[in-house]
Amino acid sequence: MVEEITPTVPKGMRWASYVFSALPVLLLLFSASGKFLKPDGMEANIRPLGWTMGQMTSLGIVELACVMPYIIPKTAVVCAILLKAYLGGATATHARIGEPFFIPIVVGGLIWLGLYLREPRLWPLVPIRK
């Protein structure tokens, strides 16, 4: 049996990956907390999106179920896929009503950039030419 050698991640790249991963995680945790706390004025903001206050708790649970395992290295790749799907729904929701929809796309990009920088097994899948 041939053993594969996994390359090590340079220290600077690892720290950059932590920053690029922390930003979307903090943003999504903030978003999920709002879905549970339901601050004043939230109903007026979500009504144009086609959501009701009754759906917010379920949406917050889905958001947390995707975000929390993302910070665990063994489940990060699967959760990045789930988070990108969740953010695809956010993108579609905003695009449907004519609102700017670039923020979910940027957040999804940061999720994958952070993961790509810290996970050498992804490097052969997205080769960056020098």
The answer to whether the beta carbons of residues 12 and 20 sit under 8 Å apart is no
- In a domain, residue 2? The reply is no
In whole angstroms, give the CA distance from residue 81 to residue 17.
Answer: 17
pTM for this entry = 0.87
What CA–CA distance (Å, rounded) separates 69 from 65?
7
* CA dist., res. 104 & res. 13, Å (int): 24
Contact 84, 108 (CB under 8 A): yes
Query: Is residue 1 one of the residues assigned to a domain?
Result: no
Number of domains comprising the chain: 1
Evaluate whether residue 40 is within a structural domain: yes
SS3 of residue 102 by DSSP: helix
pLDDT in tens, the chain (130 residues): 666 677 788 999 999 999 999 999 999 999 999 999 999 999 999 998 889 999 999 999 999 999 999 999 999 999 999 999 999 999 999 999 999 999 999 999 999 999 999 999 898 888 776 6
Q: Which domain holds residue 48?
A: 11-122
